[in-house]
Structure 1
């Protein structure tokens, strides 16, 4: 048991660091790791990962806001829509066959990685703190991203980040901060639904959360020190590796 605790704490530190860098709470890595290394089925891996993701997202959101103020109206539009859609879809997701959910998750990550890779060669405008489209359109993005988060446990923030940079014209760092504002309420309600249906391993999830909280601030600091191009390239490779790891299970 002590060794298991130490392993989970160390894993939480690594995942919290990645979550801070990419603004996603570390769940995208935690789900494949919990499935591949620890043999958890897809829904149980997703629910257990959320135990770590929720506090990591809240910590990272606070750190991003400290360094790069997040507009409260933008955060509200994303967060409310994401919360409602995540709640409704997660009620359905916990009843699905785990193998189909895992396959859908792999396809989602692969397409998102390819899209981010293609965007590196597209003509891009100058990033800005001002949105190209009126802020109520953020509610549409929040609803769709929240639905993905309810289905896969995580993923809403990962979808929102490239959409915010490409369609709304924000910088990568601003997009990651707004994505965390979207993820905070939606991951919270999704964790509650998964826990209610017994799809959470608390003995594994709590040490992951403690380790993640210890390192997520370092990840946020690192993200603000990287160039825009490097951060996007790392984000793309990160998504692809997660998809490959889960597909090989």
Structure 2
């Protein structure tokens, strides 16, 4: 576990605060930005970066889940089904992921970000508003837990990034409701992922804990802002944030 200096500690606290805000704003844990920064900025192994980001994500996701549930409560049976399937899938996939070569994991992570950001960006322009779409059979909602759990186990992130567009675009849920459903998926599965990565010694706790502490003070503010923004503008901002992160992750090694 790498030691960090006082300036780095302060940087981690500030970074955690920023990521906590954006995590609350977009219904994610902040790992989508944190992992590339740990890999490219601090030289961490891809798997260690993913495990360390989970230290930040777990408390942020739990708080965001609580805040979103207060405004957009999800039926406990639906939340339990989604969360259980996500946790089982996360545990199985994470055990495999911690044994993959780091270069392969980094490539998978980068491609995932690029494809997802492009899909969300073009989908935002090309599809009708969710409330105008014909809703799908909501009995299949829990199956999204398998998809989100696979992403959480393999990448340490992405459960909400994959699940939110499915809940929003396929099942016709409003963006904030889709994020509430996604948090019911990723909050418990992030705990499983963290325990699995930690058991495989893929977590830098000295870096992750300060980020987690910084994020605790800002995630609620992000959730509050999310409910004041126009839905279309929030979806566009979400898509552009993903695209910028994907471009940085792919191009930075080529520019060095």
Q: TM-score, normalised by structure 1?
A: 0.95
**Could you tell me which residue of structure 2 aligns to residue 49 of structure 1?**
53
**Could you tell me which residue of structure 2 aligns to residue 109 of structure 1?**
113
CA shift at 1:131, angstroms? Answer: 5.5
TM alignment of 1:1-249, pairs within 5 A? 1-127=5-131, 132-135=136-139, 137-247=140-250, 248-249=252-253
CA distance in 2, matches of 1:211, 1:84: 30
CA shift at 1:168, angstroms? Answer: 0.4
CA distance in 2, matches of 1:244, 1:23: 21
Q: Is the 8 A contact 1:194 1:200 kept in 2?
A: yes
- Size of the aligned set, in residue pairs, is 247
CA shift at 1:77, angstroms? Answer: 2.1
Q: Is the 8 A contact 2:130 2:168 kept in 1?
A: no
CA deviation digits over 1:185-213, x for unaligned, max 9?
11111100110111000000000000011
CA deviation digits over 1:115-156, x for unaligned, max 9?
11121222425529x963133x12221101101110000111
CA deviation digits over 1:39-68, x for unaligned, max 9?
101000000000000010000000111122
Runs of 4 or more off by more than 2 Å in structure 1?
125-128
CA deviation digits over 1:159-201, x for unaligned, max 9?
0001111110001111111111100111111100110111000
**Structure 2: unaligned runs, 5 residues or longer:** none
In structure 2, do the counterparts of structure 1 residues 139 and 4 end up closer, same or farther at CA, with 3 Å as the change threshold? Answer: same
Q: Partner of 1:95: helix, strand, or coil?
A: coil
